[in-house]
Amino acid sequence: MRVLVTGGSGFVGQRLCPALIAQGHEVLVVSRTPHKVRERLPRECDIRDSAQAFIDSPPDALVNLAGESIAAKRWSDSQKKRLTRSRIEMTEQLVSLCEQLGENGQPLPKVLISGSAMGYYGDQGDKRVTEDTSPHDEFAHRLCAEWEAAAKPIENMGVRLAILRIGLVLGAGGGTLQKMLPPFKLGLGGRFGDGRQFMPWIHRDDLVEAIMFLLNDASLSGAFNGSAPHPVTNAEFTRTLARQLRRPAVLPVPACVLKAGLGEMSQLLLTGADMRPERLEAAGFRFQYPTLEKALAAILSPERSA
């Protein structure tokens, strides 16, 4: 297959693109700065600055992972607009590409795997969350809902749409652990607030496999929770990470400090959802790293031997 990937130079994309190539697929990548991301991707990748630039190479499948990091900056009104715009504009590019292909009489992609996030559900307390759970209305939900809605028109063109609501992505060299590891290695880690909020997570390799799974099974469409089957609370995550690093974790960060420092963005750290991958598992997907203990052991083994 010829697979077009947005966000291909990101933390997940850098693992997905080589995996697709290893399976014999041709990989097309959209990046606003092709020359800057060239060294992050396999040389076989065809990198262009927009989805429309591939009108002469109609893709068989689309994977949409693009979007500015939600935790990169404090959520000012302007930053909220940037977060939303970065997701919606790229998704609309893919829809527009399909419209152009159709108008030209060219073949349309068979499937779009479009990213979303656990934030779709908002704060769910300790309620078990599946794809059918009603969301809590807050900024993270509205952001994800608009992102998902931007992809929906593609269904009217006969393109299969699978939405992947992704949890915290764990892996070496980036993702959620990148900012957490330095203080924990120094023994300065601790829970956020009371630690009771859930942290749905997924190992990067399992996320890549889930994307491949959705690409290859033509019967799968709709929303899927992209997280491991055993989510943990923040307190459990903290204890497990500290144990894997053989460090103490006795310095909790009070909720009031996070709210003062991060404003509304502190919701990312102080709330969560006990999100379960019910539809993926029902479809037969099996996780290589179903538990946090196993995932962190695999990720951190070089750290412990260093």
Q: What is the pLDDT of residue 158?
A: 97
Token pair for residue 253? 């960060």
Q: Which residues of the chain have pLDDT under 70?
A: 302-306
pLDDT tens-digit map of 81-131: 999 999 999 999 999 999 999 999 999 999 999 999 999 999 999 999 999
Q: What is the pLDDT of residue 169?
A: 95
Contact between residue 175 and residue 249 where contact means Cβ atoms under 8 Å apart: no
Q: What is the pLDDT of residue 287?
A: 98
Contact between residue 25 and residue 2 where contact means Cβ atoms under 8 Å apart: yes
Q: Which long-range contacts (CB under 8 A, 24 or more apart) does 7-10 make?
A: 7/64, 7/65, 7/66, 7/67, 7/90, 7/115, 8/37, 8/41, 8/45, 8/47, 8/65, 9/37, 9/40, 9/41, 10/65, 10/66
pLDDT tens-digit map of 261-274: 778 777 778 889 99
Return the percent helix, strand and coil in the chain, to nearest 5.
Answer: 45, 15, 40
- Cite the beta strand spans of 65-193 per DSSP E: 111-117, 128-129, 160-166, 168-170
Q: Which long-range contacts (CB under 8 A, 24 or more apart) does 16-20 make?
A: 16/63, 16/65, 16/208, 16/211, 17/41, 17/42, 17/45, 18/42, 19/208, 19/212, 20/212
Q: Which residues of 27-63 are buried (b: 16+ CB within 10 A; e: fewer)?
A: bbbbbeebeebeebbeeebebeeebeebeeebbbbbb
DSSP 217-258: -TT--EEEEES-SS-EEHHHHHHHHHHHHT------B-HHHH
Q: What is the pLDDT of residue 239?
A: 94
* Burial grade of 304 (CB within 10 A; 0-12, 13-18, 19 or more): exposed
Instruction: Say which residue the tokens 């055993």 belong to.
Output: 230
Token pair for residue 267? 């919701």
Instruction: Say which residue the tokens 């927009």 belong to.
Output: 50
Q: Tell me, which fold does domain 2-172+201-228+274-288 have in CATH?
A: Rossmann fold (3.40.50)
Contact between residue 266 and residue 255 where contact means Cβ atoms under 8 Å apart: yes
Closest CA to 64 of 202, 207, 162: 162
Instruction: Say which residue the tokens 């807050």 belong to.
Output: 138
| Cα three-residue angle 201-202-203, rounded to 5 degrees | 135
Q: What is the pLDDT of residue 305?
A: 39
**Spatial separation of the C-alpha atoms in residues 41 and 159, rounded to whole Å:** 27
Contact between residue 275 and residue 227 where contact means Cβ atoms under 8 Å apart: yes
**Spatial separation of the C-alpha atoms in residues 181 and 183, rounded to whole Å:** 6
Contact between residue 67 and residue 9 where contact means Cβ atoms under 8 Å apart: no
Token pair for residue 4? 């077009």
pTM of the model: 0.95
Helices (H), 60-138: 77-103
**Spatial separation of the C-alpha atoms in residues 148 and 175, rounded to whole Å:** 22
